[in-house]
């Protein structure tokens, strides 16, 4: 086993931001840590990369316990593990010198350094830039050089924090191809963070979903912040973005968060039905095949993820761009109270009456 985590907690300023009782990672696979901002993805990534010591708990790497108290032990392990940050910083020198830094520090011979630098630049498509000034590169080119610099350290595990954030579409495609090639050609294990469900399932063999610092089932999607309001007939609504009322059954008031189970949302062709209560009009904006189901993304004023079976997709004959009727039944909704105390205690939640 590559990593085994047991009872990992990370506490900042008295608040638990990560609470993982048990989690394992297998060698040779690509993993995604998936979740919204503030879910604990980057914190978990930095703990796995041995850059942050957890407040409590045990980490095992390659079946050996990681002892943060022993500096030489952690330092030796870090030679096998490299992190590519979301906003990488390159030295104000040539691309070649940037990629040479890791092999040079590790004492490789000049011939050895030359070979690994050329291989790394080839893999990311940047050989033609070897003499370019690194600090003058575009954002996408900077990311690719940062990956080459990481590869030149001959890692066994590569970590990427939001690898395609802040780059253009062309660079995103290139970086995703590089991640796949690094894994398949070099056999390097990869763990990356993303908030993009489609990217996670496209690139990764395993997806770990996080919410409020805890690992949760993948059905905890469609997470929204809003507030509870009461209608004239005392009906309760969860108001998304102040203009999308979703009927709920709860005693809660004011600001809350909720998730809508994508397995329980129902779609049908637009029949011109009166839109009220739990029925919304939406437009299908995306269809993607995933492991064991089809993900449909429907815009009802906010994007809503819906999981369908292949048979349901065939029966509905869905076409991207068409108008649909979207039913969000009350039993698909889970409400979360908004206090720090209750968020730290997740996954306890109000399931409704």
Beta carbons of 269 and 324 less than 8 angstroms apart: yes
Beta carbons of 336 and 254 less than 8 angstroms apart: no
Per-residue model confidence (pLDDT) at position 201: 81
**Of all residues in the chain, what percent carry a pLDDT higher than 70?**
93
**Of all residues in the chain, what percent carry a pLDDT higher than 90?**
58
209 pairs with which residues across the strands? 34, 216
Instruction: Using 50 as the pLDDT threshold, list the residues of the chain that sit under it.
Output: 338-353
Q: What are the φ/ψ torsions at residue 220 (nearest 5 degrees)?
A: -80, 80
Top-level CATH class of 3-216? alpha beta
pTM: 0.77
Per-residue model confidence (pLDDT) at position 337: 53
Per-residue model confidence (pLDDT) at position 343: 41
Beta carbons of 176 and 203 less than 8 angstroms apart: yes
Per-residue model confidence (pLDDT) at position 70: 62
Residues, the chain, total?
353
Query: Order of strands across the sheet with 254-260?
Result: 244-248, 236-240, 223-230, 254-260, 333-337
Per-residue model confidence (pLDDT) at position 71: 61
Per-residue model confidence (pLDDT) at position 353: 27
Q: What are the φ/ψ torsions at residue 326 (nearest 5 degrees)?
A: -120, 120
Q: Which helix (H) or strand (E) holds 7?
A: strand 3-12
CATH code 2.40.50.100 for 265-328: yes
286 pairs with which residues across the strands? 297
Q: Where in the chain are the domains?
A: 3-216, 221-259+330-353, 265-328
Per-residue model confidence (pLDDT) at position 72: 63
**Which residues make Cβ contacts (< 8 Å) with residue 352, sequence separation at least 6?**
248, 249, 250, 330, 331, 333, 335
Helix (H, G, I), strand (E, B) or coil at 203: helix
**Angle of the 110-123 helix axis to the 95-105 helix axis, nearest 10:** 130
Q: How many angstroms separate the CA atoms of 208 and 353, rounded?
A: 30
């Amino acid at each position: 086993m590559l990593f085994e985590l047991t009872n990992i907690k990370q506490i900042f300023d008295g608040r638990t931001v990560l609470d993982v009782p048990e989690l394992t990672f297998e060698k040779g696979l690509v993993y995604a840590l998936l979740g919204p901002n503030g879910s604990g993805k980057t914190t978990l990534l930095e703990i796995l990369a041995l850059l942050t010591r957890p407040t409590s708990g045990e980490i095992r790497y390659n079946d050996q316990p990681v002892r943060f108290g022993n500096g030489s032990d952690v330092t030796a392990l870090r030679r096998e593990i490299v992190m590519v940050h979301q906003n990488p910083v390159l030295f104000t020198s040539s691309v070649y010198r940037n990629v040479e830094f890791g092999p040079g520090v590790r004492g490789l011979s000049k011939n050895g350094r030359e070979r690994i630098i050329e291989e790394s630049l080839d893999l990311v498509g940047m050989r033609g830039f070897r003499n370019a000034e690194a600090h003058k590169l575009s954002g996408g080119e900077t990311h690719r050089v940062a990956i080459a610099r990481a590869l030149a350290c001959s890692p066994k595990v590569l970590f990427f924090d939001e690898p395609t954030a802040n780059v253009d579409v062309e660079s995103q495609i290139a970086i995703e191809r590089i991640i796949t090639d690094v894994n398949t050609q070099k056999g390097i294990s990869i763990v990356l963070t993303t908030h993009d469900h489609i990217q996670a399932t496209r690139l990764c063999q395993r997806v770990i979903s996080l919410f409020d610092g805890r690992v949760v089932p993948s059905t905890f999607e469609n997470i929204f912040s809003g507030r509870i309001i009461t209608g004239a007939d005392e009906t309760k609504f969860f108001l998304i973005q102040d203009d999308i009322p979703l009927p709920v059954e709860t005693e809660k008031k004011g600001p809350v968060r909720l998730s809508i189970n994508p397995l329980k949302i129902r779609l049908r062709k637009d029949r011109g039905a009166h839109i009220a209560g739990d029925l919304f009009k939406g437009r299908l904006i995306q269809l993607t095949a995933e492991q064991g189901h089809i993900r449909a993304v429907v815009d009802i004023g906010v994007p809503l993820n819906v999981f369908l079976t292949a048979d349901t997709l065939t029966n509905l004959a869905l076409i991207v761009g068409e108008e649909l009727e979207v039913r969000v039944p009350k039993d698909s909704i889970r409400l979360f109270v908004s206090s720090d105390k209750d968020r730290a205690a997740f996954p306890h939640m109000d399931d409704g009456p």
